[in-house]
Amino acid sequence: MVLWIVLAVLTAAVAAVLIAPLMKAREPVAAGPDDGAAVYRDQLREVDRDLSQGLIGAAEAEYARAEIGRRLLAVAGKADGSEVSAAAAKSGSRHRLARSAILLCLPGIGLCLYLVLGSPELPDQPLEARLANPGNNIALLVAKAERHLAENPNDGAGWDLLAPIYFRSQRLADAENAYRKAIALQGESPERLAGLGETLVAGRDGVVTEEALAAFERAVAMNRNNMRARFYVALGLEQAGRTGDALAAFKAIKADSPPGAAWTQLVAEHIAKNGGAQNDGAPAAAAKAPGNPDAEAVAAAREMAPQDRRKMIEGMVDSLAAKLKDDPNNIEGWMRLVRSYKVLGRDDSAGEALKTGLKSFPPTGEEGRRLLALAREMGLSLEGVSQ
């Protein structure tokens, strides 16, 4: 009922705004007769002037005055208000028609649109009820959590739940505050420490500060399998200019990573950046994958111009595709081929390579699941791929 009252008030307000200009009284404008009378009066004065100058005789002047007077009376008769009244009546009729259209059409159109697009059968749901049943509305879930924490600021589990949501929403100041409160109330854990560190890094434009590095190092000390924290520790060493320590840290990450891990390529790039070869620390299976460049090829590529280097890479990728066509039973080769096509911007080729690789390694097996996981991580479309 409240909704209908609000809609009625809004409709009345809009109608009033539109009708107001039509309700103003307008001065009637008589156009034409007065202007004609003025002309004839000037002619009478000219007759008098000509008579005084002796240009015309008295009889002629009298005749001219009579004729001009007759015309003047005819014009004055038309200016008795009948034309003005007719114009005013016509204008008033148009205004009444416009007012009627606004009063009838505006509410009618609004009602029809609401019945078609709205949900008039739904009952009113105040904010309290929506917060009680937020469903999948993230904004309401966050609002509900914030209200709860405002009333229960010592609920560490609540802060622990809200912190990563703040981070994903790019509310970095709120995320940092939530992580700190969760750690203070719940104690340190690898996830909380890594989350705090990553929030600090994001808030400092990717710079691993001393506080962030300390948080990551404590997270690694508690759980060495936390690869995210280990990566940021290595990145902090790299940014601090400790190239040797950073290289060793990145190599250790690559050696401990599962095959096909999403971060493998990124870690390899940092290994190369710190003076190592990109295949340092690679698993044996990956090192034996067909199409991998040898040390001489890598050295030669570094000396090439960007255009020549790309041609060389494309040639190696095409060679890898040809070898996999002859010997498709190589999961590392298929993963490298899919990844290479994606890096080169050849998404269609990456999708075809994914489908072909899944023929040799069905999605129901471990290798097939790795291929699907790689495709998801790289943003490839899985349309038409049986999962």
Question: 327-379 pLDDT, tens per residue?
Answer: 888 888 888 888 888 877 888 888 888 889 888 888 888 788 888 888 877 77
Which of 144-158, 192-206, 288-302, 332-346 is predicted least confidently?
288-302
Which of 28-37, 93-102, 165-174 is predicted least confidently?
28-37
Distance CA 166, CA 250 (A): 29
Cβ neighbors of 362 (< 8 A, separation 6 or more) are 368
pTM: 0.43
Residue 189 has pLDDT above 90, yes or no: yes
What pLDDT is stored for residue 18 in this prediction?
Answer: 63
Q: Which of left, alpha, beta for 15 (phi over 0: left; psi -120 to 50: alpha)?
A: alpha
Distance CA 82, CA 85 (A): 5
Residue 176 has pLDDT above 80, yes or no: yes
Which of 105-109, 299-303, 383-387 is predicted least confidently?
299-303
Cβ-in-10-Å burial (0-12, 13-18, 19+) of 89 comes to: exposed
Mean pLDDT computed over 99-116: 67
Task: Kindly compute the dihedral angle of the four CA atoms of residues 362, 367, 371, 377, in this order, to the nearest 10 degrees.
Answer: 130
Secondary structure letter of residue 357 according to DSSP:
H
Cβ neighbors of 340 (< 8 A, separation 6 or more) are 313, 317, 320
Tokens describing residue 94? 């148009």
Question: 25-50 pLDDT, tens per residue?
Answer: 555 544 445 556 677 777 778 878 87
CB 282 within 8 A of CB 311: no
Residue 1 has pLDDT above 60, yes or no: no
Distance CA 83, CA 78 (A): 8
Tokens describing residue 17? 């705004």
Distance CA 248, CA 276 (A): 9
Tokens describing residue 6? 């609000």
User: Which is nearest to 215 in space by CA: 258, 182, 261, 169?
Assistant: 182
Cβ neighbors of 56 (< 8 A, separation 6 or more) are 47, 50, 64
